[in-house]
Chains A and B, each alone.
Chain A
Amino acid sequence: MIVLKSSDGETFEIEEAVALQSQTIAHMVEDDCVENGIPLANVTGEILAKIIEYCKKHVEGGGGSEEELKIWDKEFIENIDQSTLFNLILAANYLNIKTLLDLTCQRVADMIS
């Protein structure tokens, strides 16, 4: 289990497989500096909670078909306001979670066009 600490002091304990979707965290685990939990100074608790929600759903083996996952993604990304959306983009960029970054940027593109 990996402990993540948000910038506002919230802690989240998640399974390694879930956390490893973030390349940043994966590198930290490799470099073995995760003993006391990983502090994420750029991510607030609210946003981190959303990211963990996404990662849990997208852990290897999906827990459903690809179609279902797409529908879930659509629900996930459409039910947030702009402020959260941009915060998610910044956080996904910092944590280097490619799929989430693609999803959020595509959402912005859809909103523009």
Chain B
Amino acid sequence: MKLRLRCHETRETLKLEFADTGTLHDLRRRISVSDPSSVHLSLNRKDELLSPSVDDTLRSLGVTSGDLIYYSLDHSAFVASDHDIGLASSSGEAHQGLAPSGDSLHDSMGIGFVEADLNPDLAEGSGMEDAEAMDVQEIDVEIAAAGKKRLSEPLFLKNTLLEKSGDTSELTLLAMSVHAVMLESGFLLLNSGSDDKFSFSKELLSVSLKYTLLELVNPKGSSTVESVTVQFQSLGRVVVVYGSLSGSSQSVPWVYLDKHRFVPVIDLVMDTLKFEKEGSSVFYREVFMFWRMVKDGLAIPLLIRLCDKAGLEPPPCLMVIPTELKMKILESLPGVSVAKMACVCTEMRYLASDNDLWKQKYLKESKNLFGMEAGESVNWKEKFATFWRRKVRTTFPVGLNCSRRSSVRFPPLLRDPVPWFGQPAPRGLGRRPWGRARCNHGALNFCPRCNHHG
């Protein structure tokens, strides 16, 4: 098997071919012919790799071809101790063997917490010519491999801000934070001069950033690259961020960011070196809320649209899970939501038209046992629709002030309390891989017979 041996202190890496049946002792002897017992080996730089018996092969210890093994002649090199991820702080843990040499190194260590392939611009060493820094990058991926990624979001945010923020204006701070989320989701910045820091305090109207994916970047040709544009508009207390696909007039995903809520939290991220690990901390929660809002509301929808346009595999979302799981989810939904899901796309319409599913919904919600009488084919969806119409009529008689929201999760009835189930609307619905469809016929967002996407 092929093994890589890396000296713990000097980072020098040797590649060697080792017999599958070799033992730990054989490996030690390879490293130091004269004094094999002075060699200490480790797989994770924390715990020493020891074999219970001298004859145990490396394979029986879990070492396989391609593995990286650290070695050291210092007997205290791999003494296990509390692995505090706070090593990103200025007090570098000595036993990690990384000499703290200024903030920039620590920043790169934070960035390394995310999988390396998500940050190709960093892995390619942009802005870091130092070979040692490159090595630090590799090592940091291994630190990340030791687990404890719960802290990655604030750390990643902090490092992106430190790297890219040209000033501390609120718009810049929020823009760069959104930029961090986009990077973490897999996007690459397309703006020219992307190594420079961004400074938006002087921008009065709007700021826009262009992103693409690694797979779409064509190094040779100068042909236009599929991209998405993220625009920021500062409106008083709120910054509106919206994204759009280049060359598309589809509905755009957008997010409102309350400056008063998020700017203090982001400032704190910049200043704090160590982070509390527990999720109960309000500070950590707010960062997470921000992250989730931007990622789920902006980054992922844009990623899905871009992948769809470019023909790439979409990220994990509702539409990529197996069919039986989609059915399982539909089964847990109330009848109205199943009908809404049917308006989302052709596949969903097919799944949501399942007669057995509607039978289940009807029997559960109408609690009507008389529906059991007909043994042959009954259109349960129609039965449900009839039942629902009757229910709505009795709950919302015509003439009642319909602007109040009911306790049942019903959208406000503006014109016609009775939904129009007949003719399908000629207008199609934009492809939305995720919930919340808005059908436009009738006042209610409920169209069991709608024929969107034919």
Interfacial residues, chain A to chain B (CB-CB below 8 A): 3, 8-12, 35-37, 44-46, 49, 75, 79, 81-83, 86-87, 89-90, 93, 101, 105-106, 108-109, 111-113
Please tell me if the beta carbons of A45 and B145 are within 8 angstroms of each other in the complex.
yes
Interface residue SS majority, chain A: helix
Query: Which of B166-174, B236-244, B327-335 contacts its partner?
Result: B327-335
- In chain B, positions 280-334 with a C-beta closer than 8 Å to chain A are 288, 291-292, 295-296, 300, 315-318, 320-322, 325, 328-329, 332-334
Which residue in A46, A49, A112 is a CB contact (below 8 Å) of B333? A112
Q: A10-B145, A86-B317 are in contact. List 5 more A-B contacts (CB 8 A).
A: A79-B279, A83-B185, A90-B321, A108-B329, A112-B337
Q: Does B427 contact A (CB under 8 A)?
A: no
| Contacts A/B (CB < 8 Å), 7 sampled | A45-B149, A82-B295, A86-B321, A93-B321, A108-B329, A112-B329, A113-B333
Residues 109-123 of B, flagged 1 when their CB comes within 8 A of A and 0 if not, give 000000100000000
**Given A111-B435, A113-B333, also A83-B300 (CB < 8 A):** yes
- Shortest distance in angstroms between B384's beta carbon and chain A's nearest beta carbon? 16
Q: Does B41 contact A (CB under 8 A)?
A: no
Please tell me if the beta carbons of A86 and B115 are within 8 angstroms of each other in the complex.
no
Count of B interface residues, CB-CB < 8 Å = 37
Q: Which residues of A contact B435 (CB under 8 A)?
A: 111-112
Those 10 A-B pairs whose CB atoms lie nearest each other, nearest first? A86-B316, A109-B332, A113-B337, A112-B435, A81-B292, A82-B296, A10-B145, A87-B316, A105-B329, A105-B328
Q: Which residues of B contact A11 (CB under 8 A)?
A: 62
Q: Which residues of B contact A8 (CB under 8 A)?
A: 115, 145
Q: Looking across the interface, which residue of chain B has its beta carbon closest to that of A111?
A: B435
Please tell me if the beta carbons of B149 and A108 are within 8 angstroms of each other in the complex.
no
Please tell me if the beta carbons of A105 and B288 are within 8 angstroms of each other in the complex.
no
Q: Which residues of A contact B328 (CB under 8 A)?
A: 101, 105
Q: Does B51 contact A (CB under 8 A)?
A: no
Which residue in A10, A35, A49, A89 is a CB contact (below 8 Å) of B321? A89
Q: Which residues of A contact B185 (CB under 8 A)?
A: 83
Please tell me if the beta carbons of A9 and B145 are within 8 angstroms of each other in the complex.
yes
Please tell me if the beta carbons of B288 and A79 are within 8 angstroms of each other in the complex.
yes
**Given A81-B291, A81-B292, A83-B315, also A10-B147 (CB < 8 A):** yes
Q: Which residues of A contact B257 (CB under 8 A)?
A: none
Q: Which residues of A contact B315 (CB under 8 A)?
A: 83
Q: Which residues of B contact A89 (CB under 8 A)?
A: 316, 321, 325
Q: What is the bound-complex CA distance between A33 and B395, given in angstroms?
A: 61
Q: Taking each of B62, B291, B340, which has the highest tally of chain A beta carbons within 10 Å of its own beta carbon?
A: B62
- Shortest distance in angstroms between A38's beta carbon and chain B's nearest beta carbon? 11
Please tell me if the beta carbons of A112 and B341 are within 8 angstroms of each other in the complex.
yes
Which residue in B60, B64, B329, B436 is a CB contact (below 8 Å) of A109? B329
Please tell me if the beta carbons of A90 and B316 are within 8 angstroms of each other in the complex.
yes
Q: Does B409 contact A (CB under 8 A)?
A: yes
Please tell me if the beta carbons of B334 and A113 are within 8 angstroms of each other in the complex.
yes
Interfacial residues, chain B to chain A (CB-CB below 8 A): 59-60, 62, 64, 115, 145-147, 149, 185, 279, 288, 291-292, 295-296, 300, 315-318, 320-322, 325, 328-329, 332-334, 336-337, 340-341, 409, 435-436
Q: What is the bound-complex CA distance between A75 and B292, given in angstroms?
A: 15
Q: Looking across the interface, which residue of chain A has its beta carbon closest to that of B328?
A: A105
Q: Which residues of B contact A44 (CB under 8 A)?
A: 115
Please tell me if the beta carbons of B300 and A82 are within 8 angstroms of each other in the complex.
yes
Q: Which residues of A contact B329 (CB under 8 A)?
A: 105, 108-109, 112
Q: Looking across the interface, which residue of chain B has its beta carbon closest to that of A106?
A: B332
Please tell me if the beta carbons of A113 and B320 are within 8 angstroms of each other in the complex.
no
Which residue in B279, B322, B332 is a CB contact (below 8 Å) of A93? B322
Please tell me if the beta carbons of A36 and B59 are within 8 angstroms of each other in the complex.
yes
Q: Which residues of B contact A35 (CB under 8 A)?
A: 60
Q: Which residues of B contact A101 (CB under 8 A)?
A: 325, 328
Q: Which residues of B contact A105 (CB under 8 A)?
A: 325, 328-329, 332
- Shortest distance in angstroms between B407's beta carbon and chain A's nearest beta carbon? 15
Please tell me if the beta carbons of B296 and A113 are within 8 angstroms of each other in the complex.
no
- Shortest distance in angstroms between B252's beta carbon and chain A's nearest beta carbon? 18
Q: Taking each of B279, B288, B321, which has the highest tally of chain A beta carbons within 10 Å of its own beta carbon?
A: B321
Q: Looking across the interface, which residue of chain A has its beta carbon closest to that of B117?
A: A8
Please tell me if the beta carbons of A36 and B337 are within 8 angstroms of each other in the complex.
no
Q: Looking across the interface, which residue of chain B has its beta carbon closest to that of A94?
A: B322
Which residue in B62, B147, B316, B325 is a CB contact (below 8 Å) of A45? B147
Q: What is the bound-complex CA distance between A35 and B328, given in angstroms?
A: 35
Q: Which residues of A contact B317 (CB under 8 A)?
A: 82, 86
- Shortest distance in angstroms between B281's beta carbon and chain A's nearest beta carbon? 12
